[in-house]
């Protein structure tokens, strides 16, 4: 099946209010390893999606994800946009991220452009922001009106799911995270602390998805994730 057909068929699996793609991946993993419980760790947006999936109706029903750790994933996508975090506070980060995404997607521009009815190479040449990328591809593929609508829908979706987490989830958030200032994390923090399964740990230092030892400079994220997930396994949570 070619890419345009996949884009059309899977339109509903790729959107601000869907984690169907993550659910599909977990189903594939479980089918290949039917006797092994699935646990996971995610960083930044990956952490947000993982902890939100833990509270999703799909996971409540399937019980595929048994436990998870999220690093720097407790944020509200809506406020990343409305507070201008990328556009004003972290323009170099936005520039680097957009250039990386465009470069990764460039081999698919011709097929995607035919499906969307535009020349993505011309539209995105010299792109300097993720907003330009979303305007050219994301909102066109999803059939929504604007990037504002995209972020609003995503924020509401994730806040709702975080309140419904009912499996063990450890979520770490650093006070000095430049991408997630208090205004960006407030709604997510309020939501996740209402859940039955999540533990939120806020550290003084850690940056965005770094979590380095202040004295040695060594990253401790892997140890935290393994300790938590192993504890879940030992206590027969999974």
Report how far apart the first and last C-alpha atoms of the chain are (Å, whole number).
Answer: 37
pTM for this structure?
0.88
More confidently predicted of 17 and 54: 54
pLDDT at position 1 is 43
**Residue 13 confidence (pLDDT) above 50:** yes
Nearest Cα to Cα of residue 14 among 1, 24, 28, 26: 24
**Residue 84 confidence (pLDDT) above 70:** no
Nearest Cα to Cα of residue 18 among 157, 137, 159, 151: 157
Task: Kindly state the average pLDDT of the residues 2-21.
Answer: 64
Superfamily of domain 11-85+146-234 in CATH is Alpha/Beta hydrolase fold, catalytic domain (3.40.50.1820)
**Residue 109 confidence (pLDDT) above 70:** yes
Q: Where are the alpha helices (DSSP H) in 69-181?
A: 77-82, 91-105, 109-116, 120-124, 130-133, 139-142, 147-162
pLDDT at position 236 is 59
Q: Tens digit of pLDDT for each residue in 18-42?
A: 999 899 999 999 999 999 899 999 9
38 in Cβ contact with 54 (< 8 Å): no
pLDDT at position 222 is 93
pLDDT at position 12 is 45
Task: Kindly state the average pLDDT of the residues 204-229.
Answer: 90
Task: Kindly state the average pLDDT of the residues 103-125.
Answer: 88
pLDDT at position 127 is 77
Q: Tens digit of pLDDT for each residue in 95-108?
A: 888 899 999 989 98
Q: Considering only 8-12, 13-17, 168-172, 199-203, which range has the smallest mean pLDDT?
A: 8-12
pLDDT at position 89 is 65
Measured CA to CA, the distance from residue 209 to residue 65 in angstroms comes to 22
């Amino acid at each position: 099946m070619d890419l345009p057909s996949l884009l059309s068929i899977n339109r509903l699996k790729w959107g601000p209010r869907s984690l169907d793609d993550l659910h599909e991946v977990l189903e594939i993993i479980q089918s290949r390893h039917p006797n092994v419980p699935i646990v996971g760790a995610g960083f930044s947006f990956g952490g947000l999606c993982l902890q939100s999936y833990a509270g999703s109706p799909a996971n409540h029903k399937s019980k595929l994800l048994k436990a998870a750790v999220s690093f720097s994933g407790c944020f509200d996508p809506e406020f990343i946009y409305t507070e201008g975090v990328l556009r004003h506070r972290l323009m170099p980060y936005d520039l680097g991220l957009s250039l990386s995404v465009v470069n990764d997607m460039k081999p698919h521009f011709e097929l995607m452009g035919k499906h969307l009815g535009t020349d993505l190479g011309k539209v995105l040449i010299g792109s300097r922001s993720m907003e330009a990328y979303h305007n050219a591809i994301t909102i066109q593929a999803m059939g929504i009106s604007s990037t504002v609508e995209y972020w609003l829908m995503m924020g509401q979706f994730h806040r709702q799911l975080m309140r419904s987490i009912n499996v063990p989830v450890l979520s770490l958030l650093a006070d000095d995270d430049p991408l997630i200032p208090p205004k960006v994390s407030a709604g997510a923090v309020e939501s996740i602390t209402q859940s039955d399964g999540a533990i939120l740990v806020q550290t003084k230092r850690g940056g965005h998805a770094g979590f380095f030892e202040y004295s040695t400079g060594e990253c401790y994220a892997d140890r935290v994730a393994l300790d938590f997930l192993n504890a879940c396994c030992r206590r027969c949570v999974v």
